[in-house]
Every structure is written in structure tokens, then in C-alpha cells.
Structure 1
Amino acid sequence: MLKIATFNINGIRSRLPALLEWLDKEAPDVACLQELKAPDTAFPSDEIRAAGYGAIWHGQPSWNGVAILTKGMDPIETRRGLPGDMGDTHSRYIEAAAHGVLVGCLYLPNGNPQPGPKFDYKLAWFERLIDYAAGLYDNGHPVVLAGDFNVVPTDEDIYNPKSWLKDALLQPESRERYRRLLDQGWVDALRTRHPDERIYTFWDYFRQHWQKNSGLRIDHLLLNPELAPRLKDAGVDRWVRDRPHASDHAPTWIELDMSAKKKPAEKPAARTRRKAAPQ
């Protein structure tokens, strides 16, 4: 079984002990990290290698930053940075081949406050992702897009939408772009495995939201047709969020049976005009 996880670490230097504890206990084969908040030179490659993982990373001082860790091997980098805007200096996308899967790790812009230039940038980045993802979807190899998408897909993915009506994560434009991404045919793995459950991946630091389970689902793993039939399980390592000085996200993961024979992929009209099912 192959385990792939995504984890917004919210500062890799300050939360390195938590990261190493999680890697030791849960042992994902691939771990996608976001919000490193550190330049490339400050990435703790020695400590991560000592834990049994190879890594590639795309850092940035104080903000952003993404990385892919792979157990027992070095990932083969295939892309650094999302195409479509030569002037974009944010470190938000990195991609690698590892353990027979092409892994795209992303940190989509938050977009607050909205309206404004940060929200405009969020939507423009989302458009670039949609364009690029269309090629990944059809490339004939197993692909997962994993990361912090900074979008709450539906009202079923948040404890109380009324408290977040003005937030960029819930705006109709953000949700519409996520639906358009799924309309390419990508499978939202966590929701597929838990179709009726209130399941969250993020709890902010305010008003005891963790203690009250007032969360949001914004960390997603999307599977293309080469990978989706192999999905066996998905979940959230909630215990990590309960540790002292934790990130406000918890690791979100999938398990894939890579030995299973792949079922023939369907080619429905869903690829072009499918409405996303309630998430």
C-alpha cells in the first residue's frame, strides 16, 4: 500500500520536531509540505534525510514554500513553479516523480482580504492551475495533486459558513474554480472516501476552534483516472493538530493499492460539463 500525505506545516524550522514525530509515527511514502516559511538554505535537509526521506523543496523567506519528501528515495523533480506567469515570484508549486506516481504539491494563494489585489492573484493563480492540470490529467501516468488549496468546496466542508461569508476561501469565485478543476475529471479523494462526514483539515488558532472542532476542509488530494481506481482509504491525522505548538492544519492522507489492476477509465461527458456533486 502506498501512502501519500499533504501537510501545511506552517513554519518548517519552528515545527521540525512535530514533522519528524509525524514522519516517524505515520511513515507516509510521500509527504507534500506547504508554508515552509524559510529560504532554500534553511531547509532542514540533513534532519529529514536522517529520518529516512529524500526531499526537494522550493523555499521563500518568511512566506510560502513547498516541498516533497519521499521515503527511502530521492524524488525526481519534474517542475518547479506553476507555468503561465513569468513574473510570479511566489514559491507555491513543486512536482516530482516518486514511487511510481507523479506528485504535484501546491499552496494556492489565500486571497484575503477580498476584494482586492490578493484575491485577484488567487483567482489568476487558480486559472493557471486549471490550465496546467488539464495536461496532467490526460498524461497517461498516475497523478495526484496534493496541497493546501485554500478553498472550502461547499458549506458541508466548514463548521459554520455564516462566520466566514466574507473570507476568500468561501467566495463563489473560489468555489467555482475548484468545481471547474474537478470537472476535468479529478477525484477528490477525501470526500470520495467520506461522502457524508463532516471532516476537517484546518482549525484556526482563535476562539478554541480546535477544542470545539470548528474546522474547515481546505487540504485536498485529487487523483487522475490512472490513480483513482487504486484509492483504498483516506483520512486526517488529527492527533498532530493536538500537539503543543501545532500547525493549524493536520496532515491529510490517502492509501493506494498500486498492485491492483487498473480498471478501465470512464470517459463520460463529466469531463466537459459535469456538475460537481455536493462535497
Structure 2
Amino acid sequence: MESGTFKLATWNVNSLNVRLQHVLDWLRDNPIDVLCLQETKQEDSKFPYTELKEAGYNAIHSGQKTYNGVAILSTHDMTEVEHGIADFEDGQKRVISATINGVRVVCVYIVNGQAVDSEKYEYKMRWLTALNTWLAGELKKYPKLVVLGDYNIAPEDRDCHDPAAWLGQILVSPQEREHFQKLLQLGLHDSFRLFEQAEKSFSWWDYRMMGFRRNFGMRIDHILVSDALKSACIAATIDKAPRKLERPSDHTPVILELGL
């Protein structure tokens, strides 16, 4: 690791039990300071703390059986660990936070929403409102803050392979995009868009219809940085290599490099 750089990444692994070796191999080939995972889909008692420690990573996890689950892995010590969104009762394990190397790291797995006319979509709206309120307070406490995760929102049409086909559906609905904009209005910045990027840059591809091969994807995995860290951003990339593996996650890692 180069002196003065601090690399963070986010990856929805869609079951750590299935994808653990993918994660270990990726960390070996891509040494970074922090990796946030979503959809670990396992209880804390099943989490592979030992294997990750052997690979050089401390880990904290908030999990449940079969669904959801978030984790932060780091080569550094983690302090001030918190689970969930303060003052928002939620039985689903979707948020975990820690302070690492002077940076407040928040790992989120935002609700999918199922369909715009569903109860799950209404839950997503409530959840996003609670996240916004909570993060407003967190930013006051922690000026150097990063929010990494699977947001289940494609912020703009350029983040969707076929906006017309997805019109009116989840991930691209006006309400979801408005919530994303409200996060930016808090003083957060979409780190990927701080740099010139190739057209049709996506982080998720459906398993069906040869989605990855045809690049029928969406950019729904994001790393938002606070004002205090914006000028420290050096590079933001998407690593498509893990999506090419056998039995891959439908998401792939998104990486941010900071100069601290």
C-alpha cells in the first residue's frame, strides 16, 4: 500500500457463504484498507472472522439468517462501532458503522423495494427518510464520513442500460432518485462522478438474459463522501473482474482511493 493512500471498497456479495473464496482472493490481489460487504446472508455466529483475520483483516458484522447482513473489513483497528440507524426500529440488518483511520465509515444495504406499488417500496421510502435524518446528525459528529454500499438506486439515466425499459420501475423511480439527491444535499458527493468515467459503467447485472455479457446493467453501488473528504479523492473505479468468475455475485466491487 502506497504511503498516504487510503483505499475503500464496497461489494454486495449476495451470500458470503457462497462467495467467501471470491472475497479472499480479491483481497489478496487488491490489498485495500476497508471493504464493506452487503447481503452476507448469515448470522454472526457463522461469520468467517478467523479466515478473514488470517488474510489480515479485522471484521465487524451485523447479520441474520438467509437475508440482508452487512460487514466492514479493515486492516486497521475499528472503533465506535454502531449497528443500525439510531431512533429507527428495524429488524433487518442493513447498517453498520465504525471509525477507521480517522474516517467514519458507514456500510449500508438499502432496501430493494420490490415494486413501486408494494409495501416494501413504502418501507424503502421510510427507511431512506430515516437514513437521511440520521446521516445529517452523523455528519455533524464526523466531518470525515464515507457512506458505502448497495443503494438499490440508479441516480441518473446514464446509470441504467435502458432507461426507457425501466421507466416507472424500482431502482430508477423519481421518488428513489429524489431520496438520493437529498443525501447529496446533506453535503455528500457521489465519488464515482468526481472523475471522468466510461459510458455505461455499471456495478450490477441481472443473472438472467445474459445481462453481464450484454452489459445490461445498472450503477446502484455507491461510495458517497463528505465535503471534508471530497478534495482527498484520488480515483474511483469499478472492478468488473469478479463478475466474470464462476458462480459470481450479481454485483461487483466499487473502489475509492483517498489521499490522507
Pairwise same-fold verdict (TM > 0.5)? yes
- Residues in 2 aligned to 1:79 and 1:9: alpha-carbon distance in whole angstroms: 21
- Residues in 1 aligned to 2:197 and 2:19: alpha-carbon distance in whole angstroms: 32
Q: Report whether the alignment pairs 1:65 with 2:65.
A: no
Could you say which structure has the higher strand fraction? 2
- Superposed CA offset, 1:5-38 (max 9, x none): 0000100011101010111011110000000011
Equivalent position amino acid for 1:59 in 2: G
The answer for the alignment partner of 1:27 in structure 2 is 31
- Residues in 2 aligned to 1:138 and 1:198: alpha-carbon distance in whole angstroms: 35
- Decide whether aligned partners of structure 1 residues 60 and 140 sit closer, same or farther in structure 2, where only a CA change above 3 A counts: closer
> Is contact 1:53–1:74 with CA below 8 Å preserved after alignment?
no
Q: Alignment length, in residue pairs?
A: 256
| Structure 2 residue runs without a partner (length 5+) | none
> Is contact 1:137–1:186 with CA below 8 Å preserved after alignment?
no
- TM superposition shift of 1:103: 0.0
Q: TM-score, normalised by structure 1?
A: 0.89
The answer for the alignment partner of 2:9 in structure 1 is 5
> Is contact 1:140–1:226 with CA below 8 Å preserved after alignment?
no
The answer for the alignment partner of 1:121 in structure 2 is 123
The structure 2 residue matched to 1:237, chosen from 234, 239, 246, is 239
- TM superposition shift of 1:140: 4.8
- Decide whether aligned partners of structure 1 residues 214 and 95 sit closer, same or farther in structure 2, where only a CA change above 3 A counts: same
Equivalent position amino acid for 1:8 in 2: N
- TM superposition shift of 1:184: 1.5
For the residue of structure 1 that corresponds to 2:228, the secondary structure is coil
Q: TM-score, normalised by structure 2?
A: 0.95
> Is contact 2:104–2:142 with CA below 8 Å preserved after alignment?
no
Q: Report whether the alignment pairs 1:74 with 2:61.
A: no
Q: Report whether the alignment pairs 1:43 with 2:47.
A: yes
- TM superposition shift of 1:167: 2.6
> Is contact 1:137–1:225 with CA below 8 Å preserved after alignment?
no
The structure 2 residue matched to 1:145, chosen from 126, 144, 147, is 147
Q: 1:89-104 to 2 correspondence within 5 Å?
A: 89-104=91-106
Q: RMSD over aligned Cα, in angstroms? A: 1.3
- TM superposition shift of 1:166: 4.0
